[in-house]
Amino acid sequence: MNEVLNLIFNFWVGLAILAIVLVKVSIKFVPQNRAYVVERFGKYNKTMEAGLNFLVPFIDKVGYDRSLKEQAVDVPSQSAITRDNISLVVDGVLYLKVLDPYKASYGVDDYVYAVTQLAQTTMRSEIGKIELDKTFEEREALNTNIVAAINEAASPWGVQVLRYEIKDIEPPRTVLEAMERQMKAEREKRAVILESEGERQSSINVAEGDKRAKVLAAEADKAEQILRAEGEAKAILAVAEAKAEALKIVGDVAIEERGQKAIQLELAAQAIAAKQAIAKESSVVLLSDDKTGAANIVAEAITIINTLNKDGSGAAASPL
C-alpha cells in the first residue's frame, strides 16, 4: 500500500515539475526595443515584440534576437582617390536602426557587416567624384549622398541608415605641406590686404576730418563776420537815430525865443573855450579887427545864429 502511495506521490510531483518546466519554456518576456524572431520546425513563424508572449514548447524556438535601438557602427579607415588623383585615408561612423527584424534576419547574414562594407564602397565612390579641396568643404554633402546610397541598397535588409559622419580625412604628407604653405600664403595675403585697407581708411578719415574742420572754421568765420557786420550796422543805426532824435529836439527848442537864447549862450561859451584852448597851445593868438573882448566873441556867435535862423523863424535875435 505504501508503495502505491509513493508511486502516486512521485507521479504528481513529476507532473508538477513538468508543468512548471513547460510554463517556463512557453512564456517569453520580450524587453523594450527588442524583437524575437520565432521559428517553428526551422521555418519562420512570427515576430514577438516587447511584452508577454507565448511559445509552443518543443516546437517553437527563438531563432534571432534583434535590437530595435539606434546603433553606432565604426567604419574602419580606408583609402580613397579623389577626382584629381590624390590618395586620402578616410574613416567615419555609421548610425543605423533595424526596421524589419524578419528582413534583418533572413535578408542578409550579418547586416552590420554588410552595411559597413556598403558604406566603405559608397564613400570611395563619392570621394572619387570630387576634388581634394572640395572634400574638406563639402563634408555635409558627402554624408548626405552616402546615406542616400546606403539606404537604397540596404532596403531589402530591413535596415535604415539614419546618418553617416566622416570623422577624419587624412591626405598624404606632401599634400599637407603644400596645403599649409598655401594657407600661410593666403593668410599673409589677407594680412597685407587688411593692412592696406586700414591705412587707406585711416587716410580717408584724416582727410575727412581736415575737410570737416576747415568747413566748420569757415562757417564759424562767416558767422562771426555776419554777426560783426550786423552789430556795426545796428550801432550805426543807433547813433544815427540818436543824432536824429537830438537834432529834432534841438530844432524843436530852437523855434522858440528862449531856446534861441540858450543856443546863443552855448555857442558863445564854446567859442570862448576854443579861443582859450588855442591860447594854451600856441604863443601866437589871432585876433579879429574888432575888440578882443568876450562881448565881441559873443556878438559874432549871435550873428551866426541869427543868420541860420532867418529862414526858420523869420525874426532876428537881439544881442545880449
Domains and CATH numbers, the chain: 2-67 (no CATH), 71-171 (3.30.479.30), 255-313 (no CATH)
User: Reduced to 3 states, what is the DSSP secondary structure of residue 320?
Assistant: coil
Condensed to tens digits (0 to 9), the pLDDT of residues 100-118 reads 999 998 888 888 999 999 9
Whether the pLDDT of residue 316 is over 50: the answer is: no
Residue keyed to cell 559597413: 116
Terminal Cα-to-Cα distance of the chain (whole angstroms): 193
Rounded CA separation 241/278 (Å): 33
Q: Do the beta carbons of residue 88 and residue 79 sit within 8 Å?
A: yes
Whether the pLDDT of residue 315 is over 50: the answer is: no
Among residues of the chain, what percentage have pLDDT more than 70? 77
Among the listed residues 73, 60, 76, the one whose alpha carbon sits nearest the alpha carbon of residue 28? 60
Among the listed residues 38, 65, 42, 66, the one whose alpha carbon sits nearest the alpha carbon of residue 54? 38
H-assigned helices in the chain: 2-26, 101-106, 111-127, 132-137, 139-154, 173-254, 257-281, 294-313
Section 205-223 average pLDDT: 87
Check residue 303 and give its pLDDT. Answer: 65
The C-alpha cell of 314 is what? 523869420
Residue 47 identity: T
What average pLDDT does the chain have?
79
Check residue 291 and give its pLDDT. Answer: 47
Check residue 113 and give its pLDDT. Answer: 92
Q: Do the beta carbons of residue 18 and residue 57 sit within 8 Å?
A: no
Section 66-86 average pLDDT: 88
Confidence of residue 317 (pLDDT cuts 50, 70, 90): very low
Check residue 229 and give its pLDDT. Answer: 87
Whether the pLDDT of residue 171 is over 90: the answer is: no
Rounded CA separation 319/291 (Å): 16
Whether the pLDDT of residue 36 is over 50: the answer is: yes
